[in-house]
């Protein structure tokens, strides 16, 4: 089932009119304060967004997840929350629901859960992500791994926000890259600069891009006790080309998140933050954010240069 643009516009209009919490939070976006901080030549936007404290402070340990009702399951959603069904016609053929996110970062922010209550694991679902990226004209899709910013690691979902909102979208063509694989229209690169462990996959064939992703994903490190590599993924479709960015992580949250008192910084980096828009729900943290602190946090959560080089060699080998 396709997602027609007018149906999506109508969904936003209806939900913001009928759902007081969502309406208030989208209205509050008009007063969100933003500043720009450059780190190693890359422009980050820092957003002071109090409504996002629900996500930034979410408890995602196993015990907390087991003790709460899943807010993405249809039977647990607020009665006022409506959605648009989308059935991916690829290998899985799974039904998704396109919902508006009631705690927005973007002027138009979507959450797209699977109908079934299934763990947040991306392998085998890149085809659906690519299909949604093409279907949702004007949106960038993103995936947060279960230990990489997902506040619902027990229920598979994507999110999406206005295309062009994340600074990585405009900066990517300007960033240095090492081409690891190229055949016809498909290119895999290691993206250099402020992010360690950033890989891009571009191509005109969704099937080829999906296949390249699965091969790359198969050589990424998996930590003990985890079911998949620690990754954040961005995906968008423009000029007949699919663009996928894979950020390989080392840590879920930086040490700053667990510090006491004034030393604490409530920043739990996920796809949006790595896409160039850092979300701070507390004003004290917003004021602290400078280039040195951002660089420190990125270095902590990202893989180091040595592991980055090891992954590069593995990708070159598997894509020969």
User: What distances in angstroms separate CA 123 from CA 13, 215, 288, 304, one per listed residue?
Assistant: 34, 10, 37, 24
Q: Tell me what pLDDT residue 210 has.
A: 97
Residue 15 pLDDT > 80: yes
Residue 119 pLDDT > 80: yes
Measured between alpha carbons, how far apart are the two ends of the chain, in Å?
37
- Give the mean pLDDT of 205-209: 97
The pLDDT tens digits for 227-280 are 999 999 999 999 999 999 999 999 999 899 999 888 899 888 999 999 999 999
Residue 92 pLDDT > 60: no
Q: Tell me what pLDDT residue 50 has.
A: 84
Nearest 5°: phi and psi at 187? -135, 135
Cβ contacts of 121 within 8 Å, gap of 6 or more: 146, 156, 227, 228
How many separate helices (H) and strands (E) can be counted in the chain?
Answer: 11, 13
Give the pair of three-digit tokens for residue 293: 């602190």
What CATH number corresponds to the domain at position 150? 3.30.428.70
Residue 59 pLDDT > 70: no
- The neighbour count for residue 83, using CB atoms within 10 Å, is 19
Domain span at residue 250? 5-318
**CA atoms of 303 and 19, how far apart (whole Å):** 41
Q: Quote the number of domains for the chain.
A: 1
Residue 56 pLDDT > 60: no
Give the pair of three-digit tokens for residue 133: 């990226």
Q: Tell me what pLDDT residue 171 has.
A: 98
DSSP string for 225-261: T-SS--EEEEEEEETTEEEEEEEEBS-SS-GGGG--G
Name which residue leads in pLDDT, 263 or 293: 293
- Give the mean pLDDT of 22-50: 93
Q: Which residue has the tokens 């230990």?
A: 147
Cβ contacts of 286 within 8 Å, gap of 6 or more: 33, 35, 46, 47, 48, 280
Q: What is the mean pLDDT of the chain?
A: 92
**CA atoms of 226 and 5, how far apart (whole Å):** 38
Q: Which of 26-30, 45-49, 56-60, 220-224 has the lowest mean pLDDT?
A: 56-60
Q: Tell me what pLDDT residue 13 has.
A: 96
Q: 31 pLDDT band (50/70/90 cuts)?
A: confident
The pLDDT tens digits for 16-29 are 999 999 999 999 89
Residue 58 pLDDT > 70: no
Count how many Cα atoms sit within 13 Å of the Cα of residue 109 in the half-sphere of its side chain.
17
- Give the mean pLDDT of 86-95: 74
**CA atoms of 84 and 3, how far apart (whole Å):** 7
Residue 112 pLDDT > 90: yes
% of the chain surpassing 90 pLDDT: 78
User: What distances in angstroms separate CA 256 from CA 44, 206, 283, one per listed residue?
Assistant: 19, 39, 15
Q: Tell me what pLDDT residue 105 has.
A: 92
Q: Which of 56-65, 124-133, 145-154, 158-167 has the lowest mean pLDDT?
A: 56-65
- DSSP-based three-state secondary structure for 166: coil
The pLDDT tens digits for 151-204 are 889 999 999 999 999 999 999 999 999 999 999 999 999 999 999 999 999 999
Cβ pair 286, 32 in contact under 8 A: no
């Amino acid at each position: 089932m396709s997602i027609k643009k007018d149906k999506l516009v109508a969904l936003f209009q209806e939900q913001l009119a009928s759902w007081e919490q969502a309406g208030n939070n989208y209205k509050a976006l008009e007063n969100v304060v933003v500043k720009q901080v450059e780190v190693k030549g890359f422009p980050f936007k820092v957003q002071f967004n109090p409504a996002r404290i629900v996500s930034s402070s979410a408890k995602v340990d196993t015990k907390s997840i087991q003790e709460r009702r899943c807010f993405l399951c249809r039977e647990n959603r607020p009665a006022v929350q409506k959605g648009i069904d989308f059935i991916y016609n690829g290998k899985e053929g799974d039904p998704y629901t396109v919902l508006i996110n009631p705690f927005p970062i973007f002027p138009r922010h979507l959450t797209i859960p699977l109908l079934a209550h299934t763990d947040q694991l991306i392998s085998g679902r890149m085809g659906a992500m690519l299909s949604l990226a093409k279907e949702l004209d004007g949106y960038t899709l993103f995936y947060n791994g279960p230990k990489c910013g997902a506040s619902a690691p027990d229920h598979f979902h994507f999110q999406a926000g206005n295309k062009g909102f994340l600074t990585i979208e405009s900066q990517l063509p300007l960033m240095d890259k090492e081409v690891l694989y190229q055949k016809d229209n498909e290119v895999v690169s290691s993206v250099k600069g402020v992010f360690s462990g950033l890989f891009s996959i571009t191509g005109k064939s969704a099937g080829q891009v999906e296949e390249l992703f699965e091969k790359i994903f198969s050589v990424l490190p998996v930590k003990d006790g985890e079911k998949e590599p620690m990754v954040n993924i961005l995906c968008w479709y423009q000029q007949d080309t699919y663009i996928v960015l894979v950020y390989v992580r080392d840590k879920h949250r930086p040490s700053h998140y667990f510090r006491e008192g004034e030393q604490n910084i409530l920043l739990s980096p996920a796809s949006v933050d790595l896409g160039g828009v850092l979300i701070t729900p507390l004003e004290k943290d917003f004021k602290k954010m400078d280039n040195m602190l951002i660089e420190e946090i990125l270095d902590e959560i990202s893989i180091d240069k040595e592991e980055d080089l090891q992954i590069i060699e593995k990708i070159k080998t598997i894509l020969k």
